[in-house]
Structure 1
């Protein structure tokens, strides 16, 4: 005879079994998702294969990159990479969580097929064969994990007694799932830890101090569309530059081939279009490379060509009308401050165009195409400035805006920099809330494309002062109206309060 109490217990087990079954499937799918992500990242690092989470990150930043959203994030999170870190954290949750749920609610072959289809349709930049490959690998991982960790001969036992083998597998599942969480969390944490005139200049001598006004490489501002950990890390031996399109002789250059072009050294200031008034996203360096016109002369230009299109190793694109590209002051750069470009600043080759914001001057260049038609650049597609011409700006660096220390009755100096696409002719400083202005002393720059340092002697009495600065370039006067940096570049006077005691 059956035991009523035993039957009742078995009935409760049967009722709860489907929910328990789902959670064990979800844990196994989580393990497979983490393994797939680790394998994919290894393929990115060692073989250069595209990584779906990065493509998903690009789709998300497509929405975040429009000026209205980006300005809000700048105000909320500041100028650093915090907005990108937040976005990539969301990507990690969507990617791992989505794969886990997909693997839990579907049989392995269906989950794999759905993953491939979603990547093909939603992440078109991956093509078709890579999503299929990811789908096959995910299928294999799901099958392997399920066979290794399934409890009992037909899955979790819905009736009966759990065997010691089942218990061991449950413990193994929990351990691997926890290990996967540690791997995912640790990996994400590591990633999160990681913006014609005579312009010749003497190249800096290695080991010698840099000239006054030149920004050391380690202090040079850095902005990227990527999370820094996903910036290209290009090999000098494997890198090449392909020049094609409406040229007479398409060519591919290795790094050593670029030495055939006459070297040029030029001191220039580079500024990010995202830089706010008084902001830090501007630096001055001594750049080394060669003229774009020399490269174009080497391949020849067909008469139908109207635009130069750039493409970088990270998928970044930009363009320039051919008439503007033929300006001999446009350079292709291989060095900064006397040393080879580092990975952050575009190794092995980047573009440098005078009078434009950094978004117009891509790094990690791999392709140059001459075309009869223009193609909007990466940020232009997101409604940022197409021309990206720099605004006339000035900034106060001394005393610092944050926690200034000024002693009453002692002579000090108000110092800063001014910058524009044309020479700075005058800088004025106000210490009384813009009621009166005094002309500052200019430190004449070594290049018309470098910023102009300035200073004004000041001996204040005790009290509260409002400092402000404005610059002039011939008949061009710095705009007083405050305007957000995006999408055309910030305008307004740099001003702040200083307490003298």
Structure 2
């Protein structure tokens, strides 16, 4: 008697029609298509983009000074920390959409997306999540129908691998679409409208100490790919709130105000001691006080609230905002502001770090109550007043080698909200100090270049610099940049051989 064992049922292929992996692959394709369509709507119509809103929610706690400073130490200055944060957003967004898309009914997946966006991303309102939910449903239905396998028969069985390969290929193509320009990776750096150095008059070079636009420091709360790109023809500035005559100005309307040109230094609050996040430029625009006089102020007005096209907010007490030295600017070094630096309009406030001077301004509101700005909500400085600083640029810290016995110069810049009156340099680890020669700045709001003649002897030299502004002395305590701005002497070792 021969025993027979029941034959084992063959395991279905991982990507067989109806399997979880099959549904996940199709949902991935729909998720990428939805992301690409949403990014196109953001660029062409200015619609809200859920990944950006999710990114803002994530950076709400990443922007807290302690965490931000840690990320700077690990990843350096610039966009690296933002790229890391947005990579996390991409995983959450695409992964979440793909899992939702595996539900048996696409309609349920679309409704679930809309509800989750409404509950988790309140800034989107209610109709935008509804649109995303409906489009996701439609895309799931479309992908399912497009890739639905033909009815099985003896003749069509052999076609199943081809169907699987086609679905897999489309999934890879969707991933390629995402990486090529779907908007979620945001790892590219789009060109700016005007990044070449321009003279203040045809044929004239930039004055000494002025930073070319192409070298001007850039810091943004956004990934550069998501910085606002505004149209000069469509852009408007709304001035409302506690004013007598609310107005909406076009870029042409702003030409009615008397033009002002001023050389000013701008520094980022996150600039470390000796860091590169400081530049000097010649700005052109008009006085904020004239704009406020044009619309008239109500008696209850106490604060000026700024709002930018990327959702950035800041504020300033009205008494300070009426200072005639506060400018709304449209040009840098005789060029219209480019995208990086706030086209078409930004704020310039003397003696404050860049976080207090928003770009891409679209609204100015007069209010009886203050509202904390974007970074103030994340525990950064409320006043953002600049610290007295000095920096050594020559010899460069990244290549601290000089020729022994050869006369040379130690050079750099110093900056404060008041005139710099003295700069001192030490070449022996702050044991002794020598006074440097100052190059008188053309503006009280511009940095002060300085230099010190030096003939180094063979060996190691510890260079340091400190600045003075009247009775104010540069702080010696080494303090992190956040939340009030870095302090301490710029110090590094130089080898002479």
TM-score interval for Structure 1 and Structure 2 normalised by the shorter chain: over 0.9
Partner of 1:423: 419
Indicate conservation of the 8 Å contact 2:90/2:184, yes or no: no
Q: Give SS of 1:151's match.
A: coil
Partner of 1:367: 363
**Distance apart, 1:413 and its partner CA:** 0.3
Residue 179 of structure 2 corresponds to residue 185 of structure 1:
yes
Residue 283 of structure 2 corresponds to residue 287 of structure 1:
yes
Q: Give SS of 1:214's match.
A: coil
Partner of 1:302: 298
Partner of 2:193: none
**Distance apart, 1:191 and its partner CA:** 2.4
Partner of 1:8: 7
Partner of 2:82: 84
**Distance apart, 1:185 and its partner CA:** 2.6
Q: Give SS of 2:204's match.
A: coil
Q: 1:150 aligns with which of 148, 151, 175?
A: 148
Change (3 A) 1:124 1:445: same
Partner of 2:250: 254
**Distance apart, 1:473 and its partner CA:** 0.3
Partner of 1:171: 165
Change (3 A) 1:331 1:14: closer
Aligned positions of 1:33-432 closer than 5 A: 33-152=31-150, 163-187=157-181, 191-194=186-189, 204-432=200-428
Indicate conservation of the 8 Å contact 1:28/1:146, yes or no: yes
1:221-250 CA deviation, whole Å, 9 max, x = no partner? 000000000000100000000000000000
1:193-212 CA deviation, whole Å, 9 max, x = no partner? 21xxxxxxxx9214421000
Q: Give SS of 1:370's match.
A: strand
Partner of 2:474: 478
**Distance apart, 1:365 and its partner CA:** 0.2
Change (3 A) 1:468 1:17: closer
1:50-107 CA deviation, whole Å, 9 max, x = no partner? 1111111111111110001000000000011100111111111111111011101352
Indicate conservation of the 8 Å contact 1:206/1:338, yes or no: no
Q: Give SS of 1:140's match.
A: helix
TM-score by length of 1: 0.93
Q: 2:443 aligns with which of 440, 447, 453?
A: 447
Q: Give SS of 2:280's match.
A: strand
* Larger displacement relative to structure 2 (98-107 or 263-272): 98-107
Distance 2:322 2:133 in 1: 47
Indicate conservation of the 8 Å contact 1:311/1:317, yes or no: yes
**Distance apart, 1:13 and its partner CA:** 4.0
Distance 1:272 1:146 in 2: 50
Distance 1:459 1:16 in 2: 74
RMSD: 2.0
Partner of 1:197: none
Distance 2:319 2:226 in 1: 34
Change (3 A) 1:30 1:160: farther
Indicate conservation of the 8 Å contact 1:149/1:170, yes or no: no
Distance 1:128 1:375 in 2: 25
**Distance apart, 1:429 and its partner CA:** 0.3
Q: Give SS of 1:91's match.
A: helix
Indicate conservation of the 8 Å contact 2:400/2:493, yes or no: no
Indicate conservation of the 8 Å contact 1:272/1:359, yes or no: yes
Unaligned runs of 5+ in 1: 195-202
Change (3 A) 1:182 1:257: same
Distance 1:14 1:223 in 2: 53
Distance 1:370 1:181 in 2: 47
Change (3 A) 1:84 1:16: closer
**Distance apart, 1:166 and its partner CA:** 3.7
Residue 455 of structure 2 corresponds to residue 459 of structure 1:
yes
Indicate conservation of the 8 Å contact 1:286/1:337, yes or no: yes
1:114-152 CA deviation, whole Å, 9 max, x = no partner? 111111111111111011000000000001111221235
Q: Give SS of 1:449's match.
A: coil
Indicate conservation of the 8 Å contact 1:232/1:364, yes or no: yes
Change (3 A) 1:95 1:106: farther
**Distance apart, 1:300 and its partner CA:** 0.2
**Distance apart, 1:20 and its partner CA:** 6.9
Unaligned runs of 5+ in 2: 190-198
**Distance apart, 1:162 and its partner CA:** 6.1
Distance 2:150 2:39 in 1: 34
Q: Give SS of 1:8's match.
A: coil
Change (3 A) 1:426 1:105: same
**Distance apart, 1:256 and its partner CA:** 0.2
**Distance apart, 1:8 and its partner CA:** 2.9
Partner of 1:499: 495
Distance 2:12 2:334 in 1: 74
